[in-house]
Amino acid sequence: MSYLKEVIARTEEKNPSQPEFIQAVEEVLMSLEATVDKHPEFVAASIYDRIVEPDRQLMFRVPWTDDSGKVQVNRGFRIEFNNAIGPYKGGLRFHPSVNLGIIKFLGFEQIFKNALTTLPMGGGKGGSDFDPKGKSDGEVMRFCYSFMRELFRHIGPDTDVPAGDIGVGGREIGYMFGYYKKIKNEHTGVLTGKGIEYGGSLIRPEATGYGAVYFAAEMLATRNDSFENKIVVTSGAGNVAQFAVEKVIELGGKNISFCDSSGTIIDMDGFDTEKLHFVMDLKNNRRGRIKEYVEKYPNAKYYDGKSVWDVVRDEGIKCHIALPSATQNEIDETHAEALIKNGCYCISEGANMPSVPKAVDIYLENKILYGPGKAANAGGVSVSGLEMSQNSLKLSWEREEVDNRLKIIMKNIHEASRNAAEVYGFDKDNYVAGANIAGFLKVAKAMVAYGVV
Ligand code: NDP
Ligand code: 2IT
């Protein structure tokens, strides 16, 4: 068995019942064989075994009172995975599916993603199995306060800086930051994704979606291609999907889909700014379901209980570019095959690990342009890093300045991935290997420098 397969086997044995975490570890380590040969110092220092073991795993009780006066109990998590190159950094996810293995996969991915951004950020992730859906603002506020009542003692602007993810947006960050400020009597950059009035950065809400589109545009440019007149399918209808679609419209593409966990809408006429604003108001203010779109725009079609990828497969929907922006493992091998059959040749992942390993194999075998999440969706955490910089400097940059920095970072990630792939013997277009290697090298070298700690 190869050295890294042994590391994977040991990780599997130590972490039973955590399939998503093992999937992420396998995906990264299987790209790193060439680094084992080139860097005997990594093996000597057991870097591969050390990098799959979090620095610290926190799990805690989160009790809160619902509107009927009943006391509810949820479980909170924060995985401080690796701070070799900067304070732990990564989002908080509130979703009923959250468990230790899911937070560990997200924290593990975050190590390499954050290294790719070139900003000084380590990897972390957290969240809860709390479901914000259908809860009143008061319930969400009481939950967030209770969550922060424990989390506050573990985080800090130079220690660990959480942000948003699924189910955690501006409202939740506001409640959590407000509570932290109250109990610590400190107004510091301890969270990112803050409101613009109290230390947030312009472009942070847009950053992940815009970044995924900038990354796709960079990949397309290597083949003298662009978004102009392309049919684009996007999944999700949340933060990442909304701003990905906004940027696609701006670049002349035609985006035809959104979905939520109830179903999918397809609008073959494509979204314009007015339709997009309807979706933004529906999701962000009214907190409604995506099927309401077809009541307002009856030319569109709603597919109950189906994901965008089910609809693309079952209805033979033609498309050129796909931007999966909902959740992990949403694209299986049948979806991947159907996408390619229907004309898709560029996939840029707004979500974290949205494609199952067999789907990724199909992308690589077919040599389509494929930007894996840790590279393609790094725009969000990049602008979080820029928010931390602005907080430290106690000033705020203009919209254009942040957007330009985001574009440059996405371009650099694209370039660094291609270069690392080539240097380590892969095809330049293999962004999977390139992103894993480029992200890993920086963290591994820092870990070696520290000795055995
Ligand atoms: P949001 O909560 O804003 O939106 C998530 C969207 O995806 C919702 O429309 C939601 O539908 C849908 N969704 C979630 N889970 C499922 C599911 N199991 N099946 C079908 N649909 C689902 O989250 P974000 O947009 O922030 O996050 C989306 C993805 O992007 C996640 O993978 C996240 O990790 C990743 N990401 C986010 C970043 C950020 O800055 N926010 C940065 C980098 C990556 P419903 O409302 O019905 O649940
Ligand atoms: O997955 C991610 O990169 C995020 N949810 C954003 C993390 C952050 O700290 O901004």
Q: Can you give the pLDDT at residue 390? A: 98
Q: Can you give the pLDDT at residue 14? A: 98
Q: Per-domain residue ranges for the chain?
A: 54-187, 207-376
Domain 54-187 has CATH 3.40.50.10860: yes
Orientation angle between helical segments 19-29 and 3-14, nearest 10 degrees: 170
Q: What is the DSSP letter of 168?
A: B
Q: Can you give the pLDDT at residue 186? A: 97
Q: In Å, how far are 122, 133, 290, 358 from 125, measured between CA atoms?
A: 10, 21, 28, 26
- 210 closest CA partner among 450, 77, 386: 386
Q: Can you give the pLDDT at residue 344? A: 98
Residues 349, 324: contact at Cβ < 8 Å?
yes
Q: How far is the CA of 326 from the centre of ligand 1 (A)?
A: 4
Ligand closest in space to the Cα of 92: 2
- 30 closest CA partner among 424, 340, 379: 424
Residues 64, 142: contact at Cβ < 8 Å?
yes
Tell me which of 89, 125, 254, 283 is the catalytic residue: 125
Which residues of the chain have a pLDDT value below 50?
A: none
Q: Can you give the pLDDT at residue 101? A: 98
**Tokens 């209770």 -> residue:** 146
Closest ligand 2 atom to 384 CA:
10
- 207 closest CA partner among 428, 410, 447: 410
Residues with CB under 6 A from ligand 1: 164-167, 169, 208, 236-240, 260-262, 325-327, 350-352, 377, 380
| pTM exceeds 0.95 for this model | yes
Other residues' Cβ atoms within 10 Å of the Cβ of residue 44? 9
Q: How far is the CA of 382 from the centre of ligand 2 (A)?
A: 8
Q: Can you give the pLDDT at residue 149? A: 98
Q: Can you give the pLDDT at residue 412? A: 98
Q: Can you give the pLDDT at residue 72? A: 98
Same fold, 54-187 and 207-376: yes
Residue 448, C-beta contacts closer than 8 angstroms, at least 6 positions apart:
41, 42, 45, 47
Q: Can you give the pLDDT at residue 94? A: 98
Fold of 207-376: Rossmann fold (3.40.50)
